[in-house]
Amino acid sequence: MKRNKNFKVAISLATQLQAASVLFTIALGASADTTCFPLYAKSGATPGTPSCKLTVASNTPVGLGNYNCIDDLALIDQWCNTPPTPIDESTPDDSCPVADPVLPAKGVVALSEVDFQSGGASPIVFSRVYLSQPYDKNQTLMGSNWVSNWQRRIDLTGANASVPHIVAYRGFWQPVTFKLSGGAWVVPGNPGLTLTKSDDGFYYLKDEQRGTTEGYSDTTGMFYTETTRTGELREAYYDGPRLSEIVQRPVDSATSTAQNRLVLSFAYDTSGHIIAVVPPSGNAVHYSYDAKGNLASVTPPYGTLRQYFYEDVRFSNALTGVTDESGSRIATWNYDASGRVASVTHPDTTRNASLSYGSGTTTVTDLSGTSTYSFSTSDTLRPISITTPGGAVSRAWDTAGNLKQRTTPDGNTQYTWDSANRPIKAFATVAGVKTVTTIEYSDGSSLRPHLVATPGKVRAFVYDSNGNVTGYAERQTTDLTGEQGMQAIATGSQLVVGARYDGANRLLSATVTQDGKTVEDWTYTYDARGNIALTRDAVSGWQMKTVDRSNEDRAKTIASSSGQADITYDPRGRVTSFTYDEPAGIINGGLARKLQVDYEYGPDGGVSTRTGKVSTNGGWWQTISDAELDAWLTNWELGNDPVSPQANLTGVRSSADAYVPSLCVECYMAWKANLTGKLYSGELTEVLPQWGEKTELMLSDQSQVPYPTLMPDVAASAKRSMLYSSLFQGGSTAGGMVKCSGRESHESRCFDQYETDLDFCRLVAKPRGDRNYALCKANAFDRYQQCRGY
C-alpha cells in the first residue's frame, strides 16, 4: 500500500506540471538545390504541369532556416521545368495499400498469408508475403518474390563505408537503414529502433513497438535469435545457409528440452526451396514450385491446394492470380509495361479496380469512382494528397520525415514532435469535436511514457529496470477534450495498479485499487513453456486453470470456477468441438448442464457452420437456438460465472447469418484476467471515425500492464486491428501496420456496414452489460476488417 500511496502523490504533482516547449534547430549552409528541391517535392506539385509553380510557392513546408526556398522564383522555375526522375526501385515505399492490396506508389502487389500459428499467449507464427517488387532479392527460400517472417538478415557491407550504414531486412517488414551517429547505430526519425554491437559476436536490434530484440551475427549478418518482452526466446538453427529449425522456449530456461520448447522445422528440395513447414504435431504445410522457381501451391494439413499463377510472359515472377481451396479463382492482377499493377479483378466485381500512373501520382478507379494519389519522391514515397469522390485527404511532413498534419473532409489532426523525433501531442478536430493527446516520456530516448493526457483522463506510469510497468495511476479530469494536458483539473476519482514480474518479465501479480479500496488482486502462474497455467483473483475468488495443452500449446482442458471445458482441434489447429460441463450449483439454479458445439469450415478457412446442443441433468441432448448458443459462448469468452445462460433464449440472430464467429478459447484472459480492457476500455469501445484519426494510441504487450504509444498516421482502423489481434490472438506478428488507410472511398462503404453492426450492439448487447457490449463491438470490427480485405 505504501507504493500505491506514492503513485497517488506522483500523479497529483504531475498534473500540475507545465508542458515543456521544444525548440527545433535547423542546420544552415547546404546549397539551395539540395535544401529546397527536397522541400519542393513535398509540396504536392508535379514538374511540367501548369500549376506546378503556384503549388510549390503555396504548399512547400519551410522553417526559419529555409524560408528563402519559397521566395526564390528562379529556383522554383528550375525545379518545375526539370523532368521528373523515375522512381528508384530501392526507394522505401510508405504509400497506403489499395485494391486488395496494392502499394500504389510503385504499383506493387503485397499479398500476405499465414500458414501456421500455435496456441498460447506468445504464439509462434509462420507466414508469407508476396511482393511483386521484393525488398530483398537475395531471399529465395520461398521462391521468387515470396518471403517468410523468419527470413531476416542484416547487410554489413556498408558498415565500414565512408558513410557507415547497415541495412536490416526483417522478413516482410520494410527494410530499415541504420546510420552511425555519435557512435550509435540509429534510424533517423525512428527512436523505436536501435542497433547495438555486443562483445558476444552479435548485433542486437531492439524494436520497442513490437517488444522484441533480434540477434544477428556480427560477421555474416545471419539472424539467430528473437527475444520477446514477455519472456519468450526464439532461436534459429541452420544447416549451412538453410534455415532448419525455429525453436521457441522461455528465455529463463537453462537449456532446450522436450518439455519447454516448441519447434518448427523445415524441409527443402534440391533447389533450396522450402517444401514443408513441420509443426510439433507433424501436420505439415507443403509447398510446390514451378519451373521458374515461383511458389505454385500451398497444401495445408489434410487440405486441398491453394494455387498461385504467373501468367504474364513479360514478367516471369509476377503473380497474376490465386485460386482458393475450392478451386475458385479469387483474384487476378494485370500489369503495365513497367511491371506495375494495372488492374485487379475478383469474382465479386464490386471489388474490381484499375490503376494508372503519372509523375509522382497514381490514379485508382473502382466502383466508388476515381481517386488520385500524389506522393513525395525525395527520401521515401510518402502520400501527400489523395483526392476521392468523397473528398480530399492531404498530409504535410517536416524535414525529418515526421507527419505534421493530416487533413480530411471531416477535420484534421496536427502533430508535435520532440527533438528525439518522438510524438508528444496529437490535436485532432473531427466533425467539429476536438480530441487532444499529450505525452511526456520517462526518459530521453525510449517510447515509454511517464504521463499521458487524453480527454477526461490523465495517466501516470512507473517502470522497473527492465522497462516493465510496475505502477499505473489514472485520475479522471474535467477536461473533456484533452486540451489542458497535464494541467487538467482532477475530479477526485483515481485508479491505481501495482504489479510484480519475474526475471523473464512475466507478470506475477497485479493489484487494482479504486479510490483506496482494493477491487481486484490477481496472481498468475505459468507452465514449463511460459503459458498461463493458473490465474486467480483473490477478491472475487474467480479463477481459471489450464489443465492440459497440446504439443502446439493449444488449450485442451480448462477448469473454471463453475465447470470444465474440453476443446478439440483439427490438423490445422482450428476448433472442431467445444464441450462445457457445468455441475449443479447455487449460481446456476441447481441445474447440471452440458454444452457441446461442433464447428465446420469452408474452403476459405473460415467457419461455415456451427451447431450447439445441451443436456440438462443427464437428459437427452436438445438442439438450442443461435441466441442461446451465443449466450453460452459469450459467457465463456468473457469469463462469466455461470457459463450457462437462461434456457430457451430467443433472439434476432438466425442460422442463416452469413457471418459465423469462430471461438476464442482463451479470450477470458483478455476480458477478465488481463488489465487491457480495464485500463483502456475507452480505446477498445470508441467508435471509429469515418475519415479522421481519433484513436491515436497503440498499446504495448497486453499480457503485462500495458503502456500506450502515440502512433501518428497509422490508420485508426489499423490501430484497432492491432489492438484486437494482440488482445485476442496473443500478439501475433503475422502482419504489419496498415499505414494511412489508402483505400479512402472503400473504407467509407465498409464504415457504413460497421455503423449498422454497432447499432445492433447498442440495441441488443449493451443492455446485457459492458463486456457483452465490448465483445459485440469486437465482432463488428472483425466484420469491418473482412469488408476492408484485411
Examine the pLDDT at 32 and tell me if it is beyond 70: no
Residue 567 — pLDDT band, cuts 50, 70, 90?
very high
Q: What is the pLDDT of residue 449?
A: 95
Q: Which residue, of 68, 84, 100, is where some domain finishes?
A: 84
Q: Name the percent of the chain lying above pLDDT 90.
A: 46
Query: Quick one: pLDDT at residue 741?
Result: 44
pLDDT at 451 over 90: yes
Q: Are residues 522 and 642 in the same domain?
A: yes
pLDDT at 2: 40
Output the pLDDT for position 703: 79
- Tens-digit pLDDT profile for residues 675-713: 887 888 766 555 555 554 444 566 766 678 888 888 776
| Residue 647: inside a domain | yes
pLDDT at 628: 87
Q: Length of the chain in residues, anyone?
A: 790
- Give tens-digit pLDDT for 600-651: 998 777 888 999 999 999 999 999 988 889 889 988 988 888 899 876 554 4
Q: Is residue 545 part of a domain?
A: yes
Residue 60 maps to a domain: yes
Q: What is the DSSP secondary-structure string of 96-121?
A: PPBTTTEETTTTEEEEEEEEEE--SS
548 and 657 inside one domain: yes
pLDDT at 785: 62
Given this model, what pLDDT does residue 677 score? 77
Amino acid 231: pLDDT: 92
Nearest Cα neighbor of 592 from 612, 564, 566, 567 is 564
Residue 105 has pLDDT above 70, yes or no: yes
- Domain range for 44 is 35-84
Is 80 exceeded by the pLDDT of residue 719?
no
**Alpha helix locations (H) across 464-536?**
none
In a domain, 594, yes or no: yes
Using alpha carbons only, what angle is made at residue 158 by residues 156 and 164, rounded to the nearest 5 degrees?
A: 115
Let me know: does 40 contact 79? Beta carbons within 8 Å.
yes
Arithmetic mean of pLDDT, 28-46: 57
Residue 271 CA: distances (Å) to CA of 246, 291, 306? 21, 11, 21
> Tens of pLDDT along 182-205?
889 988 777 788 999 999 999 999
Residue 257 forms part of a structural domain: no
Q: State residue 303's pLDDT score.
A: 75
Residue 359: pLDDT over 90: no
Question: What are 52-89's pLDDT values in tens digits?
Answer: 788 788 777 766 556 678 778 878 887 777 644 444 45
Rounded Cα gap, residues 738 and 722, in angstroms: 9
Q: Could you give the number of structural domains in the chain?
A: 3
Low-confidence winner among 192-196, 299-303, 586-590 (lowest mean pLDDT): 586-590
Mean pLDDT of 88-101: 65
Query: What mean pLDDT comes out for the span 141-145?
Result: 92
Please give the model's pTM, rounded to 2 decimal places: 0.81
Flag whether pLDDT at 210 surpasses 60.
Answer: yes
Q: Does position 23 have pLDDT exceeding 90, yes or no?
A: no
Residue 154 β-bridge partners: 168
Pick the last residue of a domain from 624, 658, 673: 673
Lowest mean pLDDT segment, chosen from 4-18, 269-283, 326-340, 575-589: 4-18
Q: What is the three-class DSSP state of 35?
A: helix
In a domain, 546, yes or no: yes
Q: Among residues 84, 112, 144, which one ends one of the domains?
A: 84
Q: Is residue 768 part of a domain?
A: yes
Lowest mean pLDDT among 123-137, 300-314, 324-338, 713-727: 713-727
759 and 640 within one domain: no
Q: What is the 3-state secondary structure (H, E, C) of 442-479?
A: CCCCCCCEEEEEECCEEEEEEECCCCCEEEEEEEEECC
Question: Mean pLDDT score of the chain, rounded to an integer?
Answer: 82
Same domain membership, residue 755 and residue 660: no
Q: Give yes or no: residues 768 and 628 share one domain.
A: no
Whole-number Å distance between alpha carbons of 265 and 272: 15
Residue 166 near residue 217 (C-beta atoms within 8 A): no
Does 653 have pLDDT greater than 50?
no
Do residue 569 and residue 660 come from a single domain?
yes
- Name residues whose C-beta falls within 8 Å of residue 244's C-beta, 6 or more positions apart in sequence: 237, 238, 265, 266
Quote the pLDDT of residue 156. 95
User: Across the strands, what pairs with 497?
Assistant: 472, 512
What proportion of the chain, given as a percentage, has pLDDT over 70?
A: 79
- pLDDT for residue 84: 45
Confidence of residue 93 (pLDDT cuts 50, 70, 90): low
Residues 6+ apart with CB under 8 A from 331: 100, 321, 322, 344, 345, 346
**Residue 747 shares a structural domain with residue 627:** no
Domain-embedded: residue 511: yes
pLDDT of residue 743 exceeding 50: no
Cα–Cα distance, 133 to 131 (Å, whole number):
5
Q: Are residues 667 and 751 both part of a single domain? A: no
784 lies in the same domain as 645 = no
C-alpha cell at 54: 503556384
* Residues 656 and 749 reside in one and the same domain: no
DSSP sequence for 720-745: HHHHHHHHHHS---SS---BS-S-HH
Average pLDDT, integer, range 403-431: 88
d(CA 680, CA 33): 48
Same domain, 655 and 758: no
Strands 593-601 and 306-309, sheet pairing: unpaired
In this predicted structure, what is the pLDDT of residue 67?
Answer: 65
pLDDT for 731 equals: 36
Residues 666, 756: one domain? no
